[in-house]
Amino acid sequence: MRTLTSEEVLNLILGAEILGCGGGGSVELALEILRQAEEKGLKLKIASLEELKEDSLVFIVSRVGGGVEEDIKRRVEKYPKKVERPELEAVRELASFLGEEPEAILASETGAGNMLLPLFVAASLDKVAVDGDACGRAKPEIAISTTHVKGIPIAPLAAVTPFGDVAILKNALNDYTAEDICRQIAVASGGTCGVARCPATPKQLKGGIVEGSMSKCIEVGKRIKEALEAGEDPIKAFVETIDGKEIFRGVVKAWEREERRAFMWGNVEIEGVGPYKGHRLKIFFKNEFLISWLDDKPYVTCPDLLCVTDVRTGRGLSNWVDLRENLGREVAVVGVPAVDIWRSPKGIEIFGPKHFDFDIEYVPLESLSLV
């Protein structure tokens, strides 16, 4: 068990932003959470599963949502916001329903905002966050979870909106129906809600989560900062730290996005430079970067990671900013192999290209012929 220093948290945010694959909650959200934690004097603590009581409870906590249509945004503008951190209230509501407090909080995914949120929630309740998450990268749907692959029930769960609405889902047919229900709550709330789900013991979670991912993000952020301070290539430092591969480098030429159904949908196109000159890479995203095509042929796809990174700063690019900011940037696209659980038949069924209605077979990153 360890208490994170401010420097470690900042390194975590930098590393999680990149490994969030364009999503996972914004850096701005993460920094605001860190500021509030420091103002309140909260201690952000992480622990391994082995350090928790075997029969205690762990809750997965996250923010669920994304883009919604303009008419929905206008409709909810008049509602008074009563809850600043719906995720925190969701934990309290789920604990009240179960009649048992969790010992620890687990991040739903790797991402700047969605790793700081569970850290903040845990500290606010004088608990610890698990050094891990339920994906190993960011993903667009809560049903895309390593706990789903393992068969750990998603319900009971609690969902809380910024307006104070509270919903308890006692049972769920499956993870997909639970996702649909939470997504509709997010839509009705202007695009977001806080969710606490999947109450399980550390023993049940063993083998069903990605352990050590917070420590990994801290190391990635640290190495990138060190490279920048030494005048070295931050992309090279990133690749070496996570055993990934640079799969493309170029200039962002087009970026389109549509907000609907509490998701961000779109594509980014990158024109190659240097050894990639004459080639073009297209990436589809649904909140996160998911599927790529090199010169119109399927290339690296989910569940493997597609990390689009600014070559000068080492920062991961986000699908949640004003996309005009990214046009003309020189970026490196780094592929990172997904953790083993995602490469199982069940994992590929849940998080492969076909889940997003693309008739593309998943091919592991290391088996592809790269440019």
Q: What mean pLDDT do residues 38-52 have?
A: 97
Residues 99, 38 share a domain: yes
Range in 60-69, 138-147, 239-248 with the lowest mean pLDDT? 60-69
Residue 217: inside a domain: no
Residues 348, 255 share a domain: yes
Residue 175: inside a domain: yes
| Alpha-carbon gap, residue 350 to 235, rounded angstroms | 30
CB 363 within 8 A of CB 352: no
* pLDDT for the residue 12: 98
Residue 292: inside a domain: yes
pLDDT over 90 at 103, yes or no: yes
> To the nearest whole percent, how much of the chain has pLDDT over 90?
94
Residues 143, 92 share a domain: yes
The per-residue pLDDT for range 190-228, each reduced to its tens digit, is 999 999 999 999 999 999 999 999 999 999 999 999 999
Residues 266, 206 share a domain: no
| Alpha-carbon gap, residue 25 to 234, rounded angstroms | 22
Residues 253, 178 share a domain: no
Residues 177, 59 share a domain: yes
Single-letter residue type at 80: P
- Provide the number of structural domains found in the chain: 2
CATH number of the domain where residue 130 is located: 3.40.1610.10
Residue 221: inside a domain: no
Neighbours of 338 (CB within 10 A): 22
Both tokens of residue 248? 């493309």
Residue 38: inside a domain: yes
Is 73 strand, coil or helix?
Answer: helix
CB 48 within 8 A of CB 211: yes
Residues 261, 202 share a domain: no
Residues 153, 48 share a domain: yes
Burial 15-42 (b: 16+ CB within 10 A, else e): bbbbbbbbbbbbbebbbebbeebeeeeb
Residue 227: inside a domain: no
CB 26 within 8 A of CB 320: yes
**What average pLDDT does the chain have?**
96
Residues 167, 302 share a domain: no
CB 162 within 8 A of CB 86: yes
Q: What mean pLDDT do residues 174-178 have?
A: 98
What is the domain extent for residue 98? 2-211
Confidence of residue 323 (pLDDT cuts 50, 70, 90): confident
